[in-house]
Structure 1
Amino acid sequence: MAAPARRLCHIAFHVPEGQPLARDLHRLFGFQPVAVREAGGWRQLALRSGDAVFLVNEGAGPREPLYGLDPHHSVSSAANLCFDVDDAGAAARALAARGCRVPVPPVRVRDAQGAASYAVVSSPAGNLSLTLLERAGYRGPFLPGFRPVPSEPGPGWVSHVDHLTLACTPGSSPALTRWFHDCLGFQHLPLSPGEDPELGLRVVAGSGRGGLRLTALQAGPDNAVPTLVLAESLPGTTSRQDQVEQFLARHQGPGLQHVGLYTPNIIAAAQGMVVAGGRLLTPPEAYYQQPGKEKQILAAGHKPSLLARQGILLDGDKEKFLLQVFTKSLFAEDTFFLELIQRQGATGFGQDNIRALWQSVQEEAARTQET
C-alpha cells in the first residue's frame, strides 16, 4: 500500500455561499461549531459531534480552500475525506508514483498551537478527493489556520462515524476496491460467508426488480478509519430508479452518498432531531407489516409502534440487531443524506433492511395504483 490511512480526521463539504448546510448540521443534527477560517473568498467552519467532524467549505475563492480542493462540481456535495497519515509528503510521493493525480502537493501550515502538513489526492470515485494529513502534536481545537469558536456542549446524539457509502456506476466496484487497497491499505470486509471480493454482496430485491451490489472495505487493524461501503445498482426490469441511480443522476456522477453516524441511543437521537426540525425518512407501513417483523423488534427489546412512528428500521436475529434511520437529503438536489445507526451486536449494514424496504416500497406503489 502507498499511504495507509490511520484515522478519519474529517469529512469536507463544498457548498455555495448562503447554503444552509452548516446551520442545519448545528440546529437540526446536534453538531457544534469548533473552529472557523475566513480567507480568500472561503468561509470554512468545522463542526463536531463526538468524534465525527464535518468541515463545511462555503463560497468559491480564487485559491483552493485550506486542507482541501475545490472540485468545481455543479451541485453541493460531500467532496473530500481527510485521513491522518504518518508522513504526508512521503504518502503524496508514493501515490504520485502509482499514477495518482496530486492536485495539491504537500503544504505545511503553522500557527501558535503547532503545525500540520497535508496533500490532496484525486480519487477515482467521481468528485471525491482525499486529503492526507500529518498533524502529530498539534494542540489546537481543529487544525492550524483556524480560530476556535466558543460553543455550548452538544446533545451527544452521535459518537463517531460508523461508515461511509459511495454510490458507484455499475461495474466499477472491483476497480475501486483495488484502488483503495493499493493506495490506502483498505481490505475487503465480507458481508456474507464466502463472499467473492470481486462480486461483493448481491442484495436482490425480487424477480426482475434489480437490487444493489455492496462491497465493504476496512482499514488495517488498530486504525480508527470507518468502514467504506461501495454501492452500485444491479440490472432490473423496473422503470423506477433505485437510490443509487437517483444519486448518480442528481449528483451528476458517483460520489459520497451518505455518512453513517453511530448513536448509542437511536430512539433518543431520532426524537431529538425531529423535535429540532430535522426531517427523517418514513418507511412505508408495509415494512413493519412483514411476517415476523413485530416479533423481531420485540426480541431486540423495542416497541414496534415506537420504531414505526419514528421510521427506525431493525435488522438481525437472535441477539444481534442493527437499528437504522435515514434523514432526508441535506441538499436541494436530493443527493447526500445522513444515517443514524445503532448496533446491538450486529456488524453488517442492514442487508435485509435494503431488500425489505425495496420490496415494501414496490408493494405500496402497487396498492396506490390499484386505488
Structure 2
Amino acid sequence: MVVQDIAYVELFTKDKRSTTDYFVSALGFTRVADSVEVDRSSILLRQGDVQVVVTTGRATWKFCDEHGDGIADIAMTCDDVTATRDAALRAGARTETSPRGDTVVSGFGDVVHTLVPAPASAADRLPPRRTWVPLDGPHHPPGRVQSLDHIAVCLSGGTLDPYARFYQDGFGLDRFYSEYVSVGDQAMDSIVVRNPRGGVTFTLVAPDPGKHTGQLDAFLERNGGPGVQHLAFLVDDIIPAVRECKQRGVDFLTTPDAYYDVLADRFPDLRAIVGELRDTQVLADRDEWGHLLQLFSRSPHERNTLFYELIQRQGSRGFGSSNIRALYEAVERERLTAG
C-alpha cells in the first residue's frame, strides 16, 4: 500500500513553551488546539498544510533523555491502515504500543509512524484519538509556509540502502534520487524516496563510514542515534519569507560571498535577483525542470540537532544537488567553530 501524505509530525520536548514560541513567533505557525492526557500534554500548531504537534510530559522523558528535543512521530495518512501496517511489518517494521489504540509502527531509530485514515475533509485533520480543545489566540502574523516539502533523516553509515528498501517495500515509496557528496576527507551518501503524488518525501542521508568523521557523525552522536535532521517547509516566495523569519528571530546559516560572486554566471536567468539572494543568503540551484531556492536555519534546540529549511520551487523537482555541498560545508564550518 502507498501512503498518501504526512498527517502531522510530533516533536517531543522538555520545554513545550519555548519550542511552541519558536514555531509561532519565529516561523509563523498558529496555535490550533490543546490536548491533555494522563502522561503528556500537547499543542497542535498549523501553517498551510503543515501540522506540528509539540508534546511534553512523562511519556516523552525517555525519548528526550536519549535524543533531546526531536521528531518522535511522523504520522502518515493511508487509504487502508491495516493493509499499510501489514506491508510495513513484512518489510521489517515492529508494532509499537499506543495507549490510545493508534496503529503505530517503527521507523528509524526511535522514530515511529502513526498510520491514520485519509481525512474526508479539512475539518478531519486533527490527529485522531485525542481530545482536542480549540485555542483562540493570541494571533501572530501568519508565515508563508505552504506545505512540508520533505523530511531529512540522518542514518548510521552502512544503513542507507536497507532503509531505502524498507520505505519502498513497507510504505510504497519510490526511489527518486541518489547522490554521493565528498567534501575533503569526509563524505555523505543520500537517497530520496517519495510517493508518486509527492505528499511524502524522505531525504535519507548517512556518513560514509570509510571516510573521516564529520557533521553527520556529530549529529548521530548528539542525537543518540538516527533521527530527523531537518524539516523542509515549502514557501511561495522565499526572499520575503526569509526576511520575515529573520525579523522574527530565526537564525540562518551564512554563505561565503564567493558563492554569490559566480551565481550570475552559473544561472544567468537569476542575474536580476542575485543581489537579493546575497542579501538574504539564499542558495540557488537548477535542474532540468527549473530553479530551486533554499536556506537552512541553525538549530534552535539544546543539542544542536534538529533544524529547519525554507525552500521555493520554480519548477524544480530536485533537492539542490550543488547546494548539498554548500550546506555540508556551511554546517561543517559551524561545527568546527563551535568545537
> Is the shorter-chain TM-score for this pair beyond 0.5, marking a shared fold?
yes
**What's the RMSD between the two structures over aligned residues?**
3.1
The code of the aligned residue for 1:230 comes to: L
1:33 pairs with one of 10, 31, 34 = 31
Q: Which residue of structure 2 lines up, in the alignment, with residue 322 of structure 1?
A: 292
Pairwise mapping of residues 98-177 of structure 1 onto structure 2 (< 5 A)? 99-104=92-97, 118-123=102-107, 125-134=108-117, 136-137=119-120, 139-140=123-124, 142-144=126-128, 145-151=131-137, 152=139, 154-177=141-164
What is the Cα deviation at residue 297 of structure 1? 5.3
| Superposed displacement of residue 129, structure 1 | 0.5
CA displacement, residues 283-314 of structure 1 (integer Å, 9 cap, x when unaligned): 2333334xx32333552254323222222111
1:189 and 1:216 in contact (8 A); partners too: yes
Q: Which residue is equivalent to 2:51?
A: 53
Q: Which residue of 1 aligns with 2:12?
A: 14
Taking structure 2 as the reference length, the TM-score comes to 0.87
* 1:203 aligned residue: 181
- Letter aligned with residue 122 of structure 1: S
- C-alpha displacement at 1:218, in angstroms? 1.1
Distance 2:168 2:15 in 1: 36
Aligned residue among 59, 69, 81 for 1:88: 81
Q: What is the aligned partner in structure 1 of residue 307 from structure 2?
A: 337
Q: For residues 140 and 148 of structure 1, do their structure 2 counterparts lie closer, same or farther at Cα, with a shift above 3 Å needed?
A: farther
Match of 1:5 in 2: 3
Please identify which structure carries the higher helix content.
Answer: 2
User: What CA distance in whole angstroms lies between the structure 2 residues aligned with 1:318 and 1:91?
Assistant: 34
Moved more, 320-329 or 241-250: 241-250
- Inter-partner Cα distance in structure 1 for 2:190 and 2:266: 24
Question: Against the structure 1 CA distance between its residues 169 and 38, is the aligned structure 2 distance closer, same or farther, given a 3 Å change threshold?
Answer: same
Distance of aligned partners of 1:87 and 1:365 in 2 relative to their CA distance in 1, 3 Å threshold: closer
> CA separation of 1:254/1:355 partners in 2, compared to 1, >3 Å: closer, same or farther?
same
The percentage of aligned residue pairs carrying the same residue is 27
Per the TM alignment, residue 81 of structure 1 is displaced from its structure 2 partner at its CA by: 0.4
Shift in alpha-carbon separation, 1:146–1:363, aligned structure 2, 3 A: closer
Distance in 1, Cα, partners of 2:331 & 2:152: 22
The count of residues paired between Structure 1 and Structure 2 equals 333
Match of 1:261 among 233, 253, 262: 233
- Number of the residue aligned with 2:318: 348
Letter in 2 for 1:148: P
What are structure 1's unaligned runs of at least 5 residues? 109-117, 191-199
**Residue equivalent to 2:218:** 246
8 Å Cα contact 1:12/1:81 also seen in 2: yes
**Aligned-residue offset at 1:214:** 1.3
Shift of 1:363: 9.8
Deviations 1:22-43 (A, max 9, x none): 1100000001111110221322
- Are residues 82 and 170 of structure 1, via their aligned partners in 2, closer, same or farther at CA, if it must alter by over 3 Å? same
Gaps of 5+ in 2: none
Match of 1:295 in 2: 265
Moved more, 304-313 or 172-181: 304-313
Higher mean Cα deviation, 84-93 or 18-27?
A: 84-93
| 1:64-96 Cα deviation digits (max 9, x unpaired) | 89xxx9686341111110001223344334544
Query: 1:273 maps to what in 2?
Result: 245
Mapped partners of 1:105, 1:40: distance in 2: 13
Q: What is the deviation of 1:344?
A: 1.5
CA–CA separation in structure 2 for the residues paired with 1:281 and 1:360: 7
Q: Which residue of 1 aligns with 2:258?
A: 286
- 1:324-345 CA distance string (max 9 Å, x none): 1011103110000000011112
Query: Following the alignment from structure 2 to structure 1, what is the Cα–Cα distance between the partners of residues 266 and 167?
Result: 36
**What is the TM-score of this pair, normalised by structure 1?**
0.80
Report what 1:197 is aligned to.
Answer: none
CA distance in 1 between counterparts of 2:187 and 2:182 reads 4
- Residues 72 and 360 of structure 1, relative CA distance in 2, 3 Å threshold: closer
Kindly report which structure 2 residues correspond to 1:67-82, keeping only aligned pairs within 5 A, or say none. 73-82=66-75
Return closer, same or farther for 1:226/1:34 CA change in 2, 3 Å cut-off: same
Determine if contact 1:10/1:83 at 8 Å carries over to the other structure: yes
Between 14-23 and 150-159, the greater mean CA deviation after superposition? 150-159
CA distance in 2, matches of 1:84, 1:253: 26
Q: CA deviation at 1:188?
A: 0.6
**Aligned 8 A contact 2:254 2:330 in 1:** no
Q: How far did 1:243 drift?
A: 3.0
Q: Which amino acid aligns with 2:223?
A: H
3-state DSSP class of the match of 2:145?
Answer: coil
